[in-house]
Every structure is written in C-alpha cells, then in structure tokens.
Amino acid sequence: MSITFAPSARSSVGLEWELMLADGDTGDLVPRAPGILQALAEPTRDERFTITGELLTNTIEVTSGVGSTVAEAVDDIAEAIAAVRVVTDPDGTELLCAGSHPFAQWYDQQVTDKTRYHKLIRRTQWWGRNMMIWGVHVHVGVEDPAKVLPIIASLTRYLPHLQALSASSPFWAGERTGYASNRALVFQQLPTAGLPWPMTEWAEFEKYLADMIRTGVMEDVSEVRWDIRPAPRWGTIEVRACDGMSTLPELAAIGALVQCLVEWLSQALDRGEELPMLPPWFARENKWRAARYGLDAPIIVDAEGTQRPVREHVAETLADLSEVAAHLGCSRELRGVTTILDAGASYERQVRVAETDGGDLRRVVQHLIAEFRAGPTLRDHLARQPAD
C-alpha cells in the first residue's frame, strides 16, 4: 500500500503534553475532562493550540501549533495551560504531570466515551485499563520522506537518553516500583507499541502497515504506537518515548534535544554519511536499563557494545549538538537538559519527597502540583541563562 508523507518545513517542531486532572485537596485523579473540554471548545476555537481528551477522563492533552522554534511551540503550550486554568481554578481542579500518578488505582478511572477507546479496552482488557500513563510527544518536521526511516533507526540510539531524562514514574498504584520509568514498561504492553522495527526504506514501512491492516492488527497508520514513529499526516518524526515532563522548562529542554538530534542526523544524511545504528538486542537492553535505573543507567552506545554512563553520554551529546542548537535558535532551551542532570529528573525528586515525608505519596502529588503551578516558567528559566 502507498502511504503519502505530507510536506513539512524542515526541523519545524510541535509538542503534545498529557496532563492529569486532580482534586486540589486530596490529590486524587478526577474525571472532569469532558466538562473542561466542553467549556473550552468555543473560547479556544481559533487558537493555534488545541486542548483535547485522552483515553481516560482524568486527562487532557495540550498541543502546540507548528513552531519554527521550540520557543514558539512552548509559548503555545503555556497559552493553552492558561486557558485551561480559567476553567479548572474555580472548582479546585489542579494540573500536574508525571509518567504515572503515585497512588491512583486503575479501577477507579473512567474511560472516555469514544468508539476507538472502547475498542482498545475490549481488545487489551486488563492492560488497557491499566494505561494510567502520561507522556510527552515531540514532532519534528522532515522535508524528505527518504530520510525518515534512516533517522528513526539511528535516533533509537538516543532513546535511553530521552527516557532517562524524562523518567517520572517511580510509583505505581501506591507502590514504589524500583523503576525510574514504570510507564515505559507498561506502555509497551499495548499492541504495536515499543521500539520501532529496524527499517531504512519507506517501502518497508508501507509493507509493514499493509501486513498489519490485512491481518486486523490495526486499522490505519495512527495505531502504530512505536517509541519513535513516522507521522505521515503531519510530515514529521514523532518521539513518544518520554514520560510526562513535570515542568514547562523540562518540556522545552526535551523538545530542544529531540529537535536538535533530528536536524543533526538530517545534516549527516545531507553529507552522504551512513547513519550509525544499534543492533535491536542492544536497543532493547538500553530501554530496560533506562526504565530501571534512569540517569544512573549504564547504556550501550555503539554496535561494538561499548558501555557508558548515560549521564556522561548525555553531556557529550549536548556538546556535539551545540552548533545545531545555535542554528535552530534553541541553545538556551537545550541547556535545560544540563539543569535536569544537575538538579535531578522528576523521578529522583519524587523519591526524595517520599523519603523525606515517611513514604506519604499524597505529599508527592502535592509536590508535583506545586512544581507544575509554582515552578519556574519558561521565561523565568531562560532569563537566568546566557543569551544564544
């Protein structure tokens, strides 16, 4: 079958951020998305951003317009959140984000009343009902369809970096899991989720999709749930591996890192270089290590099996990307990655709060609410950093 990859501006960027809705007093999840979306439909109809529902009624997703820079996309997200707060603040609904809610139970949650969600639950049963997970999706425009799968195959080397930096799901249904990102391992239980199959030709992707549709695995390309996937409708590569970021500056940092990596690899293809790839068995091991150990993970960085601490390799990667970041106008946002390395990822901060408060996970939720609401805005964060 033929799949058209839509035209898009090279290295343009779009962001999607899934947010939890919680009661301000108890911190528990609340099923208020339908009412919030109804109240916002008309006031936000002509905005660049969108606000939509997700699988569960305890979640909304805010999505930017297409930005030429990360700053443009993040501005859209900030405006979307401000619009949501007009509705949520009066009734005491709080917003927060992490890969998982520390203590909520799956059986207390309501599924959004849409055919495709009910179909997913019927098929996946217990695992589908357990999808109490929140993430970030980063879209980056690619101007040539022939580049898409080679970039995805090479970008898979950096999935453990992205997963470790964004890891924010150390608790699950009231238990400390021992994992930095429990979300990463839960989400891959869905059909067609997980690591991308190693492909380098667009025709391979078309055959894959034809096979999946013919055998009833999926209905269309939107049901490809890989950690990195082509998004033909938008003309982008979409990175879906990240846990939900807990603050706006962290979202900007991850957005900048993804944008720079895609442009960096695209430039290598322009020079006629062959992009390096990891054997799939190393990629799978890296995913598990990053989920288990987060920023303390030792990762495999090349086909020879060389192992490096992910913190060190992230820092080296940032140095490699400095010129690309300057070209894309996102140097300050990218430096937010260093802030994560220095201050700790969200999973580390959550664990510290729990240990300080005797394991009280309600205090962890209040910490996440406070970070989301009272933490530094992106503008405040950037103001403290040198200009590009």
* Domain containing residue 57: CATH number: 3.30.590.20
Asked whether residue 6 is assigned to any structural domain, the reply reads no
Task: Tell me how far apart the alpha carbons of residues 94 and 370 are, in angstroms, rounded to a whole number.
Answer: 9
Q: Residue 345 belongs to what domain range?
A: 13-383
Total tally of structural domains belonging to the chain = 1
Q: Is the pTM of this model over 0.75?
A: yes
Asked whether residue 289 is assigned to any structural domain, the reply reads yes
Amino acid type, 292: R
Name the phi and psi angles at 202, rounded to 5.
-60, -35
Asked whether residue 7 is assigned to any structural domain, the reply reads no
Asked whether residue 164 is assigned to any structural domain, the reply reads yes
Q: Which two tokens stand for residue 89?
A: 């603040």
171-172/175-176 β-pairing: antiparallel
Asked whether residue 134 is assigned to any structural domain, the reply reads yes
Task: Tell me how far apart the alpha carbons of residues 92 and 313 are, in angstroms, rounded to a whole number.
Answer: 42
Asked whether residue 76 is assigned to any structural domain, the reply reads yes
What pLDDT, on a 0 to 100 scale, did the predictor assign at position 213?
Answer: 95
What pLDDT, on a 0 to 100 scale, did the predictor assign at position 32?
Answer: 98
Q: Which two tokens stand for residue 357?
A: 């408060």
For the chain, 388 residues long, the average pLDDT of each consecutive 10-residue run is 94 98 98 98 97 98 97 96 97 97 97 93 93 97 98 98 98 98 96 94 96 94 96 98 97 98 98 97 98 98 98 98 98 96 97 97 97 69 58
Asked whether residue 1 is assigned to any structural domain, the reply reads no
What pLDDT, on a 0 to 100 scale, did the predictor assign at position 377?
Answer: 56
Instruction: Count how many Cα atoms sit within 13 Å of the Cα of residue 353 in the half-sphere of its side chain.
Output: 22
What pLDDT, on a 0 to 100 scale, did the predictor assign at position 1?
Answer: 84
CA dihedral 180, 111, 360, 378 (to 10 degrees): 60
Asked whether residue 8 is assigned to any structural domain, the reply reads no
